Amino acid sequence: MKKIIYSILICLCVNSTLYAAEKTAVISRDTNLFAKPFKDADVLAELSSTTAITIVKRKGGWYQIKTPDKQGWVRLTYVRLDRKKNKNQGSDSGSNVGELLTGLATGREKSDEVSSATAIKGLSEEELQNAEPDVDALNSLDNFAVDESSDNSTGLQTRNIDFVDSTGHAIKPQSDVKNTSDEEEL
Amino acid sequence: MIRLPMLTTLALLVSFSISVHAFDLGSMLGGGGDTDDNGGNTFDIGEIISGVKDISRTITGIDEEDEIEIGRDAAAVLLGASKPVNDRELQRYVNRIGRWVVNQTDRSHLPWRFAVLSSTHVNAFATPGGNIFITEGLLRKLESEAELAAVLAHEVAHVIQKHHIKAMSSLNTSGISGVVKLAGQTQAGKDNRMTTQMVGQVKDMYLRGLDKDDEFEADRMGVIIASRAGYDPFALIAVLQTLDSIDPEHDSLSLLYKTHPPASDRLDKLEPVLEQFSEPPEESPALQQRFNQYVANRS
């Protein structure tokens, strides 16, 4: 008897996890369904754009997805989450992809419901148009600033990566500030 | 005119402005063109020098001091529309992440300020010189520190590339020098008050938005900057997919979509950028813990 209860409990847990994780989506561009999350992996099928899919999980730049008859991997950027479900729900709903991506619950309460009842405020076109400059608010930002020199370790490992152009090719950083005042002092 | 002579002419003009300024020709001639007592006949060497300086400015960029001043004006206007959220811990956290991100760029010396604004709109803003704002509406859509870093890094890229300076210059009839002049009037004025004209130009710029290609560039650079900082390069994809899943007609997205390309287009453009990344870095659970502590579980 205990065994059965445990099995049911496990099933419930597994089911609810899957339910929470799986998202319906569509393929945005014709692409291959790969057997593994690699570009040179076996191609299982060709998926055309607008194919309806279910996302199982994410690994790096890949989603593991299901179609009615197949399961495999597609590139992350070729997927668009299903918007119909979110129609008319606006900013306080919508699928949070991160939940799916990280697999970690944030423990967020659905307290957003409260604000969805109230009007969307601040920084609408109209509010920006009517804004009076607020220098005090600007100066108050100094209270939270973190200096360049302050100990700012975040537990992350920095990496050396070049910027890329629109085709993905590395370019030299072009952002060096050429200060005209320096030149004028020559 | 063919290309080479044109470039040579520009180069000559620039070198002229440098050497003229170095020898301070203006004062050698008796304090520039403004001491001509007989009025009107002599050419104004000061005008010419400043004119040539403007040309050199548009080539080599803007004085950093001017850039920061313009940015302060722009930030004051945005803060007129929405105030920083009254949560010291949250603001400090966002500044820590932002600082970590900008330290991976060659403009880390700017006076960077990050703030969460109490607006329920989904949006983020940058101003020249390093003021970065994210709305509470957008923050609530984010699920991880990597996503927060991705949004901040996109805005940071706008600052590094001076996209707003470019946009404001194109809206001002006198170009960059016109914007610098207007910002200078703020500094000189009483109580740090901005001229109505400057306020108007700032609003105009934020209501029109930046060049679309500059948005795509900021996406590309943002991904790289956040990755340099050790974050998941795919986090911006996650943010854009979340945005893409919201009804685009919703009020909370109106200004964002008026001023930005559709999220779906931005996703398309990012694909080649992400080619080089296979696996995201291992993230310590501490990252998610502190994101939950400061952002997700915030009352």
Residue ranges of domains in chain A? 2-86
Q: Is residue B6 part of a domain?
A: no
Size of interface A-B (CB pairs under 8 A): 323
Contacts of A79 in chain B (CB under 8 A): 241
pLDDT for position B129: 96
Q: Evaluate whether A93 touches B284 at the Cβ level (below 8 Å).
A: no
Please give the average per-residue pLDDT across A22-28, as a whole number. Answer: 88
Distance between the two ends of chain A, CA-based, in angstroms?
89
pLDDT for position A83: 76
Contacts of B206 in chain A (CB under 8 A): 128
**Helix (H/G/I), strand (E/B), else coil: B197:** helix
Q: Is residue B229 part of a domain?
A: yes
Q: Is residue B268 part of a domain?
A: yes
For residues A11 and A21, give the distance between their C-alpha atoms in angstroms, rounded to a whole number. 15
| Domain ranges, residue B202 | 166-206
Closest partner residue to A106 (CB to CB) among B79, B143, B227 is B143
* H or E element, residue B12: helix B3-23
For residues A30 and A12, give the distance between their C-alpha atoms in angstroms, rounded to a whole number. 36
* Closest residue of chain A to B245, computed from CA coordinates: A83
Instruction: Kindly state whether B216 is in contact with chain A, defined as any CB-CB distance less than 8 angstroms.
Output: yes
pLDDT for position B59: 36
Q: Is residue B100 part of a domain?
A: yes
pLDDT for position A174: 52
Of the candidates B75, B62, B77, the residue with the CA atom closest to the CA atom of residue B169? B62
Q: Is residue B1 part of a domain?
A: no
User: Both B139 and B239 in a single domain?
Assistant: yes
Q: Evaluate whether B33 touches B45 at the Cβ level (below 8 Å).
A: yes
To 5 degrees, how large is the angle CA B264–CA B270–CA B271? 100
Distance between the two ends of chain B, CA-based, in angstroms?
64
User: Pick from B206, B234, B261: which residue ends a domain?
Assistant: B206
pLDDT for position A106: 39
User: Both B171 and B237 in a single domain?
Assistant: no
What is each CA distance from B146 to A95, A142, B223, in whole angstroms?
17, 24, 10
Contacts of A59 in chain B (CB under 8 A): 279
Pairing of the two strands A43-47 and A31-34? antiparallel
pLDDT for position A87: 41
Q: How many domains does chain B have?
A: 2
Contact B119 A123 (CB under 8 A): yes
**Helix (H/G/I), strand (E/B), else coil: A45:** strand
pLDDT for position B54: 45
Closest partner residue to A134 (CB to CB) among B79, B112, B279 is B79
Find where tokens 């799916």 sit. Answer: A100
pLDDT for position B219: 97
Contacts of B264 in chain A (CB under 8 A): 28, 80
Please give the average per-residue pLDDT across A157-186, as a whole number. Answer: 67
Q: How far is B34 from chain A (nearest CA, A)?
A: 22
Output the tens digit of pLDDT for each of chain B's 299 residues.
444 444 444 444 444 444 334 333 333 333 333 433 444 444 555 555 554 444 434 434 799 999 999 999 999 999 999 999 999 999 999 999 999 999 999 999 999 999 999 999 999 999 999 999 999 999 999 999 999 999 999 999 999 999 999 999 999 988 999 999 988 887 655 566 888 999 999 999 999 999 999 999 999 999 999 999 999 999 999 999 999 988 888 889 889 988 999 998 999 999 899 888 877 777 788 999 999 999 998 86
Residue B276 CB: number of other CB atoms within 10 A?
A: 16
pTM given for the model: 0.75
Write the ipTM: 0.77
Give the bridge partners for A66, in sequence order: A54, A71
User: Both B158 and B179 in a single domain?
Assistant: no
For residues A170 and A161, give the distance between their C-alpha atoms in angstroms, rounded to a whole number. 9
Q: Evaluate whether B101 touches B44 at the Cβ level (below 8 Å).
A: no
User: Both B274 and B224 in a single domain?
Assistant: yes
* Higher local confidence (pLDDT), A7 or B135: B135
Q: Is residue B113 part of a domain?
A: yes
pLDDT for position B139: 97
Contact B56 A180 (CB under 8 A): yes
Alpha helices in chain A (DSSP H): 2-21, 97-102, 112-117, 125-129, 135-140, 180-184
pLDDT for position B230: 93
User: Pick from B206, B230, B256: which residue ends a domain?
Assistant: B206
Residue B33 token pair = 């063109």
Contacts of A167 in chain B (CB under 8 A): 272
pLDDT for position B293: 94
Of the candidates A28, A22, A122, the residue with the CA atom closest to the CA atom of residue B117? A122
pLDDT in tens, A77-133: 899 988 755 443 444 444 455 444 433 333 333 334 334 445 677 899 999 999 999
To 5 degrees, how large is the angle CA A103–CA A105–CA A107? 170
Q: How far is A10 from chain B (nearest CA, A)?
A: 25
User: Both B71 and B195 in a single domain?
Assistant: no
pLDDT for position B19: 38
Q: Is residue B40 part of a domain?
A: no
Contacts of B116 in chain A (CB under 8 A): none
Contact A140 B297 (CB under 8 A): no
Contact A94 B242 (CB under 8 A): yes
For residues B31 and B11, give the distance between their C-alpha atoms in angstroms, rounded to a whole number. 27
User: Pick from B174, B206, B238: which residue ends a domain?
Assistant: B206
Give the bridge partners for B114, in sequence order: B132
Contacts of B263 (CB under 8 A, 6+ apart): B240, B241, B243, B244
pLDDT in tens, A33-89: 999 988 889 999 999 999 999 999 888 888 999 999 999 999 988 999 887 554 434
User: Both B81 and B112 in a single domain?
Assistant: yes
**Strand (E) positions, B1-111?**
none
To 5 degrees, how large is the angle CA A68–CA A70–CA A72? 130
Contact B255 A124 (CB under 8 A): yes
Q: Evaluate whether B132 touches B114 at the Cβ level (below 8 Å).
A: yes
Give chain B's length: 299
Q: Is residue B30 part of a domain?
A: no
> Would you identify the CATH topology of the domain A2-86?
SH3 type barrels. (2.30.30)
User: Both B188 and B125 in a single domain?
Assistant: no
